[in-house]
Amino acid sequence: MRRSICFVPLGGLCNRMRAMASGVYLAKKSDGSITIYWKKNRECFADFSELFCSIDSHDVKVKPYTWKKFYLAVSRKKNFHIPKMIRSFFFDNQISEKKEYLDEDQFETIGGSKIFITSGYPLTKCYPLTELFTPTPEIMKQINLIKERFTENVIGIHIRRGDNIQSIRKNKVEDYFRFMDEETGVNPGTMFYLATDSADVKQEMISRYGDRIVFHDALLERHSVQGMKDAVVDLWCLSSTKRIIGSYYSSYSDLAAELDGIELSIIE
């Protein structure tokens, strides 16, 4: 049965990228089509078109989530589950915030030809990334300028601070220092691409390692379009390194490694 999927990805940039990609995978496996409604909000304050090029496929459409699409909202007690009730008139089946993998065989058992899905988690183990997400020419130009400074042996360092309590507790800056000191001791030509949401950490790294540190002069916030563009720059630059030393419990570290299939290590 050819399926038509309406998909609303949730969460921050990386969570919604993986969720969206898994939705596209399910649509293709069922020889169907998918329309993604990308919501610009505090978790990801940019429209899809402000970050990525349009997707060249008649079966995959990405549209902005506007107030007119209020019925696509997550169904909650505070909205009296009205969105879900309204959607029942338009869709044969609804899948909301599912955290477990849903392979194509399971998907085929779900009845109906019109399916609504909302999730901030990948629904499948396999999903396309590079064929869906190509940074805009403006962002790609910045990425390429930074990569020109890369040597053959450049290691990505992602240090998450902000509101990620798990990362802060598990990953001390001193742990990264220890790794970087050991690495430069063995390979004196090693450079590091640093991506962090902490100005203090960035300054510590530059003070300690000087010209070994390559970084993007990013706006360290996610509540502006420029901040989100800078997040994409960092993500693609990390994915272009030899390997990544990432942050615990960070989808950003995970996705950076997934983009180009490189090794990810978490220091604990």
List own/partner pairs for 164-171 with CB under 8 A and 24 or more apart: 164/247, 164/249, 164/250, 166/248, 166/249, 167/247, 167/248, 167/249, 167/250, 170/247, 170/248, 170/249, 170/266, 170/268, 171/247, 171/248, 171/266, 171/267, 171/268
Q: What is the average pLDDT score of the chain?
A: 92
Enter the pTM of the model: 0.93
Tens digit of each residue's pLDDT (9 = 90 or more) over 131-186? 999 999 999 999 999 999 998 899 999 998 766 556 556 678 999 999 999 999 99
Mean pLDDT value of segment 72-78: 93
pLDDT above 60: residue 249: yes
